[in-house]
Every structure is written in C-alpha cells, then in structure tokens.
C-alpha cells in the first residue's frame, strides 16, 4: 500500500520557512543598516565636537575675555560641520549650545576663570535619530521597547594648547641682549625693540631682517613676509639685503596700499592705528591701547587718507595712494580684518640658528625711503598667556601655542 505526500502541503511549509528566513535576514539587515547609520552620525558628531574643542582651546590665552571668545569660537566652528547624514541643520534636532562648552584648569578641575582655563571640552548628545528598519521589527513583533523608532549618539572632545614644532613667523630675527636667557632673553614684556634696516640683527637685543629659508635673496624677504610656514628650532636663517618692495607687504597689515592694493586679498589687521614717539610718548606697553583700537576697528586715523596718517605718525608715506577704510560698519578693517600685527619672531643665537620664538606687536608702517621701525615685545611665544597668533603643527618644545586634542 503506497502513501502519497501532498505537494500542496510541502509548498505551504516552504512558504512559512521562507517567511521566517526573510524575517531573520531582515533583522540582520536592520542591524547592519541602522547601526551603520548611527555610526556615521556618531562620526559626524565627533568631527563637530573636535572642531569645537580645537577652536575653543585656541582662545585660552589667559586674558579676561578668553572664556567668552572660546565659547563663541567653539560654537561657531562646531556648528559649521554637518551632522546626521550631512544635514546642515543637524536634521532640526539641535546643534551645539554654549552650555556644551566647558573648561578645566591645569589639574583638570572645572573652572570658569579665564586666568586658569587650560582645557576646553565640548560634549553633545544628538537625539531622535530615525531607526529605519529596526522600527519595522518593532511593529511586526509588537515589541516597540526592544526595537525603538529613534536613537541617540554622544560625542566628547577635549583640547588644550601646546608648542608648535613648525611655525609661521615673519622674516626678521631677534638676538638676545648680552647675558639674556630664556624665556625673555633680557627683555621685559612691553619693551619697544628697534627693527634695524641693516642686513642682519645686531647685538644688544635688536631685530634685523632674516630670510626664513636661509637664503640671501631680497625678493624672498618680501615673499616670506606675505606668507611663510615651516620654520623649526635649529634652522639657520639667512641675512638678506632688504629691498624697498618689502614696504608694500608690511604696510598692507596696517591697511595702507598702493593703487593696486586690495584689502579683500592683502588682508589688514583689525586696526591700522600706528604707535610712534608722537602718538605714544611712553614708548612702551602700547598693547592694551592696541586691543582697544582693534575692538573699534580703528584705521590710522578716522578719515582714511594717507595724508592724515602722515600727520598722525610723522612718517613719510608719499608713495602710497590708498588707505583701507576706517572702522565703521562697512570699513576695511572690520570687513576684511584678520589677526595680522601680533606676530611670531624667531630668536637666534650668534650663528643665526633659531633657538626660540618671541611674540611681537608691529607698531608702525614702514616708510620710503626706508628707516628703522619698532616692534613691542610681548613675551615668549610659548608662554601660557601669549597673545601670539597660533600657527604651525603641534608637537614641538618651543614656539607659539597651537590647539591640540588630548582626549
């Protein structure tokens, strides 16, 4: 007697098995897709808080406004990134706020004191990230708690400032005063130091032109004053005969241009106000007033005419035809200004080798015919409270402080 198995019953069993396998595969697909989605959002958020911490740490110069500037810089830099699949608005779920940016002192204790703030920390939780497939599993199984429709990711970053291994100084060099040693090499913060027009720095703490690439080319000096990075401790600098065209590039930082000058390209500082014996009789410690002039976006004088700048400074600038606009809402220093006059200067030994870096304030324009000019010493570029612009790659033992991630 033969027993016949129904093909229809076999087909029904296969449909059930296939459905169960598909459900199983759907679960794996959901895990891969949704956790991959969360991983991408987490990576984007980490980039945002890294940017926030680095920008905030850059401002921790121990000055009274450091915390305010750091929070503003951190929030701006962090929110410039795109999060949640490159959403410019972070999918409307909230971006970094000031409360996400906190500070710690050297012992890593929380602080709101700008005088001791050493570390900047940015933390953020991004909520309500849509879980694409796993929520379908929740609907199918009826267990929404196990398969939520949304998730969240968290990211944190901490940054501080450390000495750079490479720097972006101007092409001049400072020789220590006789017997002067680190960190200030015989100078006091606030001292005015003469930039002489001879080929190299003389003894006695004066500054002279020095090519950063080690050459003796006068045209190289002009190029390096415009933009040069890569100087390291131990480099030997050159001693050029400076040509008058270096005046053009130097004076652009004060907002003074020839007819072909363009402040949107050759950027000035936030202020072009000049300090000389006539405008600052004390001939020392002009930095505080410089900060006030910078906050007001002050030009050399209010009207923006070269003749008025001459009257103010007593300098002969008769070859120049244009001065960047004064500090009103559309003025050149406010519209185009950057940090251009607080500069890094290499400190050299008797053999012209870089041994350290000083922070200096460019006080006044150069004249034609060229004469000596002055800078103000603002301390060692690697000091905790140095106002020097951060530049170069981190990882050195001397030089301006640059922001680095520590966790």
pLDDT tens column, 84-107: 989 999 999 999 999 999 999 999
Q: What 8-state DSSP symbol labels residue 351?
A: T
DSSP strands (E only) in 140-269? 150-163, 172-174, 192-196, 207-209, 256-257
To 5 degrees, how large is the angle CA 288–CA 291–CA 294? 150
**Other CB atoms within 10 A of residue 14 CB:** 9
| Residue 183, preceding peptide bond in cis (omega within 30° of 0) | yes
**pLDDT at residue 314 is higher than 90:** no
**Other CB atoms within 10 A of residue 223 CB:** 16
Do the strands 119-130 and 101-104 form a parallel or antiparallel pair, or are they unpaired? antiparallel
| End-to-end Cα spacing for the chain | 79
What's the pLDDT at 361? Answer: 97
**52-61, 190-199, 223-232, 281-290: range with lowest mean pLDDT:** 190-199
Percentage of the chain modeled with pLDDT above 70? 78
Nearest in space to 312 (alpha carbons), one of 269, 354, 275, 347: 275
CB 382 within 8 A of CB 182: no
**pLDDT at residue 279 is higher than 60:** yes
Cα separation, 141 vs 395, whole angstroms: 55
Cα separation, 67 vs 54, whole angstroms: 14
Q: What is the pTM of this model?
A: 0.70
- 122-176 pLDDT per residue, tens: 999 999 988 876 666 655 555 656 667 788 999 999 999 988 888 889 999 999 9
Cα separation, 337 vs 249, whole angstroms: 15
CA 39 to chain centre: 29
Nearest in space to 217 (alpha carbons), one of 171, 263, 279: 171
CB 235 within 8 A of CB 212: yes
Rounded to 5 degrees, φ, ψ at 376 are: -110, 130
**pLDDT at residue 369 is higher than 80:** no
CA 195 to chain centre: 27
Cα separation, 372 vs 73, whole angstroms: 37
**Would you list the DSSP string of 5-51?**
PPHHHHHHHHHHHHHHHHHHHHHHHHHHHHHHHHHHHHHHHHHHHHH
More confident residue, 280 or 14: 280
- Mean pLDDT score across all residues of the chain: 82
Q: What 8-state DSSP symbol labels residue 281?
A: T
Cα separation, 394 vs 140, whole angstroms: 54
Average pLDDT over residues 25-52: 83
**Cβ contacts of 167 within 8 Å, gap of 6 or more:** 229, 230, 231, 232, 344, 346, 357, 381, 391, 392, 399, 400
Both structure tokens of 229: 């990075």
Q: Which helix (H) or strand (E) holds 73?
A: helix 66-79
Cα separation, 394 vs 282, whole angstroms: 37
Both structure tokens of 296: 């007001």
Average pLDDT over residues 236-244: 83
Indicate the burial class of 355 (C-beta count within 10 angstroms; 0-12, 13-18, 19 or more). Answer: middle
SS3 per-residue string spanning 92-127: HCCCCCHHHEEEECCCCCECCCCCCCCEEEEEEEEE
Q: Parse the chain into domains and list their residue ranges.
A: 11-163, 172-401
Per DSSP, the three-state class of 280 is coil
Average pLDDT over residues 380-393: 81
**pLDDT at residue 117 is higher than 90:** yes
Per DSSP, the three-state class of 4 is coil
Cα separation, 280 vs 292, whole angstroms: 14
Do the strands 192-196 and 256-257 form a parallel or antiparallel pair, or are they unpaired? unpaired
Rounded to 5 degrees, φ, ψ at 224 are: -70, -30
């Amino acid at each position: 007697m033969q027993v016949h198995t129904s093909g229809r019953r076999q087909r029904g069993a296969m449909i059930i098995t296939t459905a169960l396998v598909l459900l199983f595969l759907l679960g794996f697909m959901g895990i891969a897709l949704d956790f991959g989605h969360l991983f991408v959002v987490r990576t984007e958020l980490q980039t945002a808080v890294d940017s926030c911490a680095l920008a905030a740490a850059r401002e921790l110069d121990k000055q009274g406004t450091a915390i305010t500037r750091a929070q503003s810089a951190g929030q701006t830099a962090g929110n410039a990134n795109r999060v949640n699949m490159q959403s410019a608005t972070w999918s409307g779920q909230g971006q970094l706020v000031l409360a996400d940016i906190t500070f710690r002192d050297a012992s890593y204790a929380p602080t709101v004191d700008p005088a001791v703030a050493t570390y900047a920390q940015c933390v953020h939780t991004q909520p309500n990230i849509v879980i694409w497939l796993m929520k379908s599993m929740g609907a199918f199984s009826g267990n929404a708690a196990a398969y939520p429709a949304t998730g969240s990711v968290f990211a944190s970053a901490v940054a501080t400032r450390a000495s750079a291994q490479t720097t972006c100084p101007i092409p001049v060099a400072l020789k220590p005063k006789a017997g002067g040693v680190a960190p200030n090499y015989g100078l006091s913060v606030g001292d005015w130091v003469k930039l002489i027009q001879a080929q190299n720095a003389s003894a006695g703490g004066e500054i002279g032109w020095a090519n950063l690439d080690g050459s003796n080319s006068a045209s190289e000096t002009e190029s390096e004053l415009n933009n040069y990075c890569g100087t390291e401790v131990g480099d030997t600098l050159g001693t050029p005969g400076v040509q008058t065209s270096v005046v053009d590039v130097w004076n652009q930082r004060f907002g003074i241009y020839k007819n072909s000058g363009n402040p949107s390209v050759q950027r000035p500082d936030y202020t072009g106000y000049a300090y000389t014996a006539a405008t600052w009789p004390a001939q020392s410690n002009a930095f505080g007033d410089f900060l006030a002039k910078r906050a007001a976006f002050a030009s050399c004088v209010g009207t923006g005419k070269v003749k008025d700048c001459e009257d103010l400074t007593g300098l002969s600038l008769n070859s120049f035809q244009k001065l960047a606009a004064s500090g009103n809402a559309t003025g050149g220093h406010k519209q185009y200004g950057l940090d251009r006059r607080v500069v890094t200067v290499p400190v050299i030994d008797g053999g012209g080798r870089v041994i350290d870096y000083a922070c200096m304030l460019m006080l006044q324009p150069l004249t034609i015919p060229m004469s000596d000019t002055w800078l103000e010493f603002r301390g060692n570029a690697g000091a905790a409270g140095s106002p020097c612009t951060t530049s170069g790659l981190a990882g050195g033992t001397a030089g301006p402080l640059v922001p680095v991630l520590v966790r």
